[in-house]
Amino acid sequence: ILGLSEFSMMPMLPLISETFGSTPSQSGYAISAYAIGVVVGAPVLMLTTANMRKRKALLIFLSLMCIAIGLSALATSLEQLVVFRFLSGLPHGAYFGAAILLASDIAP
């Protein structure tokens, strides 16, 4: 799901450009916004959930991602899409970090 939400935008750029009346390079901001969200969100969310059980943190990250991806699907303008893509990227890096920590606890 994470890979699909991250990489599915690339082949859809012409469709997004047509839908929002923008150029493909302007629509590409939706891809960049997601990547910036990953970079910003990973340390912030990992620090925020540092004292939380990792399973609970993973559920929170997945919930945040699903909500933001759903909002992305409902975006009515390119600006909204870029904001929602940024929000959906925030929990991405934190999810992988928490998943690795949980896996190291489960598998000795």
pTM of the model: 0.90
Asked whether the predicted pLDDT for residue 6 surpasses 90, the reply is no
Q: DSSP characters for 53-68? A: -HHHHHHHHHHHHHHH
32 conformational bin, left if phi > 0, alpha if psi -120 to 50, beta if neither: alpha
pLDDT mean over 96-102: 91
> What are the phi and psi torsion angles at 61 (to 5°)?
-60, -45
Task: Please state the domain extents for the chain.
Answer: 2-106
DSSP conformational letter for 104: H
* pLDDT band at 7; cut points 50, 70, 90: confident
pLDDT per residue as tens digits for the range 31-67: 999 999 999 999 999 999 999 999 999 999 999 999 9
